């Protein structure tokens, strides 16, 4: 991949787009301030997050920082267009508490990708981003999305308009197809390589090693399942209930955490980086205290015997 040094911990800024609950501008700034003060220098956002609100808030903050001191990624594949029918409504169907005066329109064409980048830069108030991902092509048309979108991203990279390109997805097939194009530098795996489940470990990560592609592991708490010491069967898991086999595995892992006096969320944060393909873990936060706690857990010492026990018990794929 290009000569881009990506830090090992990133802040995933979906919460800045009022994911699940409304944040004031002051609350959003406080989260980012806590991240920066505790050494976080990699930030990820997307037009999808709050219909551009996350990009605007993140850009306002980062414009106060030296541009050469942080890495910034955003995404393409969804354009934001006017939505007169959304007047007076909120975007809660997409989990964001923001006015629905815009709507998302799928477009992974070369023209759409370039337009999306230009509009993101305008919202961010910055002149470039370091990493650009094709966002969730599996939710629309994965085959044409990857066949059109990835080459369009690679062209932007080759023109020097972005530093590195790839895909951000929770779909193993889409991730693998993007890596096999030979055009990606960095991929963001959302929820498919975590302490509780590792389907991306079967083919995607080996393909990344083969093609020299770096990995950012996101959604490492599996939507909250691994975010507390005792997993909650009724907790949020992506788009529905927690699959029984995933929940049972999480419970077994939590018991071993208890025995080794390891916090389950700390283990969840640190696990992905044990694979040589994984460069970074991206984690969200909706409060400054949560951001600080994530940094502390990311840095907490975990004995190698803990990981050995998990492997011995067959709890790691």
Q: Which residue has the tokens 């067959």?
A: 314
CB-based contact 124:141 (threshold 8 Å): no
Pairing of strands 78-82, 102-106: antiparallel
Count, in order, helices (H) and strands (E) of the chain: 10, 10
Helix 288-299 crosses helix 25-37 at what angle (to 10 degrees)? 20
Choice among 11, 43, 49, 237 that is catalytic: 49
Compute and round to an integer the Cα radius of gyration of the chain: 19
Side-chain half-sphere of 262: how many Cα atoms within 13 Å?
A: 28
H or E stretch at 190: strand 186-190
Report the distance separating Cα 128 and Cα 184, nearest Å: 18
Report the distance separating Cα 196 and Cα 237, nearest Å: 12
Q: Mark out the alpha helices in 38-168 (DSSP H runs).
A: 53-62, 110-124, 142-158
CB-based contact 58:32 (threshold 8 Å): yes
Pairing of strands 78-82, 131-135: unpaired
In the annotation, is 43 catalytic? Answer: no
Residue 74 has φ and ψ, to the nearest 5°, of -140, -170
Catalytically annotated residues: 49
């Amino acid at each position: 991949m290009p000569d881009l040094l990506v830090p090992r911990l990133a802040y995933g800024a979906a919460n800045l787009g009022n994911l699940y609950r409304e944040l004031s501008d002051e609350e959003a700034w406080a989260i980012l301030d806590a991240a920066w003060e505790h050494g976080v220098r990699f930030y990820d956002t997307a037009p999808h997050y709050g219909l551009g609100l996350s990009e605007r808030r993140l850009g306002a903050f980062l414009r106060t920082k030296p541009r050469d001191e942080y890495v910034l990624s955003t995404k393409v594949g969804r354009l934001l267009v006017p939505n007169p029918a959304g007047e007076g409504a909120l975007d809660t169907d997409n989990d964001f508490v923001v006015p629905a005066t815009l709507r998302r329109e799928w477009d992974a064409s070369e023209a759409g990708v370039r337009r999306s980048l230009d509009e993101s830069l305008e919202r961010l108030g910055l002149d470039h981003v370091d990493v650009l991902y094709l966002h969730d092509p599996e939710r629309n048309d994965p085959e044409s999305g990857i066949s059109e979108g990835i080459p369009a991203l690679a062209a932007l990279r080759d023109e020097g308009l972005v530093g590195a390109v790839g895909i951000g997805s929770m779909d193993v097939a889409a991730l693998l197809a993007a890596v096999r194009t030979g055009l990606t530098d960095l991929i963001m795996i959302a929820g498919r390589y975590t302490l509780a489940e590792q389907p991306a470990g079967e083919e995607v990560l080996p393909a990344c090693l083969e093609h020299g592609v770096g990995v950012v592991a996101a959604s490492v708490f599996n939507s909250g399942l691994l975010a507390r010491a005792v997993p909650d069967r009724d907790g949020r898991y992506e788009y529905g209930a927690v699959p029984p086999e995933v929940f049972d595995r999480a419970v077994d892992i939590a018991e071993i955490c208890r025995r080794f006096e390891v916090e389950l969320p700390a283990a969840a944060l640190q696990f992905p980086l044990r694979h040589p393909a994984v460069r970074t873990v991206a984690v969200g936060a909706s409060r400054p205290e949560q951001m600080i706690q994530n940094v502390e857990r990311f840095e907490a010492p975990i004995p190698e015997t803990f990981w050995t026990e998990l492997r011995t018990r067959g709890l790691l794929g």
